[in-house]
Amino acid sequence: MDRLDIIQQTIQKKKAQRYLEIGVKKGKVFLQVPARRKIAVDPNFKISFKKKKDAWLQDASNFFNKYYEMTSDDFFERYHRRLQRLDGIDVAFIDGLHRYRQSLKDVQNCLTYLSPNGVIIMHDCNPASEAEAVEVASREQAPRINSQGQKLGWSGDVWKTIVHLRSTREDLNVFVLDCDHGVGIITKGRPENKLDFTTEMIEALAYEDLVRNREQILNLKPPEYLHQFLRANS
Ligand SMILES: C[S@@+](CC[C@H](N)C(=O)[O-])C[C@H]1O[C@@H](n2cnc3c(N)ncnc32)[C@H](O)[C@@H]1O
């Protein structure tokens, strides 16, 4: 199971109409998501006109996609009225700048406009190595290959946003599916269980702390748990 499967199944089960993706790049996920109204936010899109055209032919609703070429912070600041008129985001996928503070801000902004029954899905919550979890300012500064010459993804410290939400929010249920670099699921509702880290403690956490206790820190679940979750929450 990967992020696209998770998004598609969530949209189908919840009959979601309005989808927002933060960090879209080539549109590999965005263009395939089956929602009626889709909003893409990225300061540096890499989607060619041909790719957009092919996506229209494949699914006509792609014709109405809205593209905002800017950072997520600028988007939420400049388009808050448009978002208010939208009648709620049903599914948001957060995959922009892979840093703790930024991904946290993205979650908080998405929560402001999330439908009561909406779902936030966040990529890169469970880095597999210290090199993937490196705390640098951007993808460009992260290592591209490991010592064996294998290609590396960059998940940064997005995992700390999961720790933050699980430590500070009584009104959110948060868990991470153990697949595709860790796919976080955030919904409004009572938390299954909580953590008790302060923000200072979270800032000071290191990758070894995650390794020592991934299951508990992330509320890590096997990918199949998604079905149980969607059955109970649709
Ligand atoms: C990993 S890629 C997204 C991949 C895409 N979601 C997918 O699954 O195919 C991350 C993207 O985030 C964008 N990004 C970086 N900083 C951002 C920010 N502050 N706000 C929104 N997007 C950002 C980058 O330009 C890049 O295209």
Give per-residue pLDDT as tens, 137-170.
889 888 888 888 888 889 999 999 999 999 999 9
Mean per-residue pLDDT, 184-198 = 97
Question: Residue with the nearest Cα to atom 25 of ligand 1?
Answer: 44
Mean per-residue pLDDT, 73-86 = 96
Determine which of 9-23, 37-51, 130-144 has the lowest per-residue pLDDT on average. 130-144
pLDDT tens digits, residue range 168-181?
Answer: 999 999 999 999 99
**How high is the pLDDT of residue 151?**
85
Q: Compute the C-alpha angle 66/72/218, nearest 5°.
A: 115
What is the whole-number distance in angstroms between the Cα of residue 232 and the centre of ligand 1?
31
Q: Residue 218's closest CA among 174, 186, 187?
A: 174
Q: 3-14 and 225-232 are packed helices; what angle lies between their axes, rounded to 10 degrees?
A: 20
Residue 161 Cβ contacting ligand 1 at under 6 Å: no
Contacts of 79 (CB under 8 A, 6+ apart): 68
Query: Is 122's pLDDT higher than 90?
Result: yes
| Atom number, ligand 1, closest to the C-alpha of residue 95 | 6
What is the whole-number distance in angstroms between the Cα of residue 59 and the centre of ligand 1?
23
Which CATH superfamily does the domain covering 3-224 fall into?
Vaccinia Virus protein VP39 (3.40.50.150)
- Residue 31's Cβ-side half-sphere holds a number of Cα atoms within 13 Å equal to 19
**How high is the pLDDT of residue 224?**
98
φ, ψ of residue 132 to 5 degrees: the values are -75, -25
What is the whole-number distance in angstroms between the Cα of residue 38 and the centre of ligand 1?
16
Mean per-residue pLDDT, 77-97 = 96
User: What percentage of the chain has pLDDT greater than the value 90?
Assistant: 91
Contacts of 224 (CB under 8 A, 6+ apart): 1
Mean per-residue pLDDT, 188-200 = 96
Residue 158 Cβ contacting ligand 1 at under 6 Å: no
